[in-house]
A and B are shown apart, each in its own frame.
Chain A
């Protein structure tokens, strides 16, 4: 479904991706994992065509995303749903209108049909009763579920989740985990999941890619990953504080810093 080859991307001085190859198979839930700051969100934006890679190709359904003209790109995006970390609900619209938004923008369906569709999507995420609420009245977990309903409003064939579990209480987390898997199977979607929550991702993903330092350092099914002999992967999966990824941000010797007694790092 999605084929990434030799992806290079830099932001400012920093290399975010340095030759990344990823294959995402149709109908599967693929998790892309890695510590914060490895550009997981950037990857989703690259797939969605919001950013351009410096080198390499990204093909969605065999179409090179970055060769498309604007109009074609917008056509392609209708087949992609994306769930942002914050939910990104439109604050000036209520829950119902938020879910109806893509339908109103892209279709000329009569009001009664839009109502049916919206209620159906809201029912799927269990929030039909909350349709009159404003986004500010929702809890974080509910907002994400509404955003999920909105993302599937146009029946996309692929959906991308940006850190769906971050900052959720265990119950919302459980609900989201269940929903992602359920929707994937019931609607025949392809799901890409970006996360650093090991347990939850391993629970629902068919395949996991682990990113670090701009490269894929391990990939495979969750079981294969647990077997991995890479110390880095083990540190990440076990959540150990120190290891191949040092606890300390690179810097001079602590002793030197203490003894010089001058403000070196910060600018006043």
Chain B
């Protein structure tokens, strides 16, 4: 019984410590950002590895998610004789929810886990330590560029995802199922607001980018420097990012569209 309480208390204390460390770490990163911005080449190199290398998965998933939405939406709408609204359904679900959320989840799996593993490995092979001993701040040289690159890349990926999704829905609806081309777009344009839907979706993606970037670099930096520790940190990145993104999505949705 007492051991149970002890265990519980230990766990709570541990999580609180980690939460505190994570936020202090974030402050350190934010403080380092001005210095990082002076080295745009480092950021560009990281955008390549987190953004460009995630393009394929985003392009493929975006298109297919849009196509599936098109099919499913059509079968539902056809019962109400409202198939022209298919564009609205596809565009709104993608812009408001699926685009930012699915992109963030895929990003956590593709780029976030890789970032965590990379930083964890740099820590375990003493690369970060040796950098510090060379009077180079690893937060500025290693963490900052990776953080900024992820933060920057995710919204772009989300936009690509949403756009290709709408296109996928269009191809299914108009080319395959024979919805009128003009009606598809005019209904969509009438119902989708740039400020309420496109920009709010973009804001979501920016928030998710921030959180995903933060979790990925923190888990890497905080990893126990053993191979087991790194693999656990990688898992934690994916799990924590997914949970954080879904939770934040609910809050943001309630604030924006409530």
Contact = CB atoms under 8 A, between A and B. Distances in A.
Leading 9 A-B pairs by shortest Cβ distance: A88-B130, A88-B126, A77-B135, A82-B133, A74-B135, A84-B126, A78-B135, A102-B134, A105-B136
A102 B136 contact: yes
A50 interface: yes
B133 A80 contact: yes
B135 A75 contact: yes
B134 A91 contact: no
B131 to A, nearest CB: 8
A91 B128 CA distance: 11
A77 B129 contact: no
A86 B126 contact: yes
Interface in A66-118: 74-75, 77-78, 80-82, 84-86, 88-91, 101-102, 105-106
A84 B134 contact: no
6 contacts: A45-B129, A48-B132, A77-B133, A78-B134, A89-B127, A150-B134
A86 B121 CA distance: 13
Interface residues of A, number: 24
Contacts of B134: 77-78, 82, 101-102, 105, 150, 154
A86 to B, nearest CB: 6
A190 to B, nearest CB: 16
Interface of A is mostly: mixed
A26 to B, nearest CB: 20
Contacts of A90: 122, 127, 131
A91 B125 contact: yes
A74 B134 CA distance: 8
B130 A84 contact: yes
B141 interface: yes
Interface of B is mostly: helix
B129 A88 contact: yes
Contacts of A154: 134
A105 B133 contact: no
B222 interface: no
A88 B132 contact: no
Contacts of B129: 45, 50, 84, 88
Contacts of B127: 88-91
Interface in B127-152: 127, 129-137, 141
B136 A50 contact: no
A111 to B, nearest CB: 14
B141 A105 contact: yes
Contacts of B132: 48, 50, 77
Contacts of B130: 82, 84, 88, 147
A9 to B, nearest CB: 17
A88 B136 CA distance: 14
A53 B81 CA distance: 76
Nearest to A150: B134
A85 B126 CA distance: 9
A163 to B, nearest CB: 11
Contacts of A45: 129
Nearest to A45: B129
A45 B126 CA distance: 12
A86 B135 contact: no
A93 B129 CA distance: 16
Interface in B104-123: 121-122
Interface string A38-65: 0000000100101000000000000000
Given A86-B125, A105-B134, A106-B136, 17 more contacts: A48-B133, A50-B129, A50-B133, A74-B135, A74-B137, A77-B132, A78-B135, A84-B126, A84-B130, A88-B126, A88-B127, A90-B122, A90-B131, A91-B121, A91-B127, A101-B134, A102-B136
Nearest to A73: B135
A158 to B, nearest CB: 11
Nearest to A48: B133
A82 to B, nearest CB: 4
Contacts of A84: 126, 129-130
A75 B131 CA distance: 14
Contacts of B131: 90
Contacts of A105: 134-136, 141
Residue with the greatest number of chain B CB neighbours at <10 A, chosen from A75, A77, A85: A77
Contacts of A89: 127
Contacts of B141: 105
B17 to A, nearest CB: 14
A266 B147 CA distance: 41
Nearest to A44: B133
A91 B123 CA distance: 12
Interface string A144-155: 000100100010
A154 B141 CA distance: 18
B31 to A, nearest CB: 11
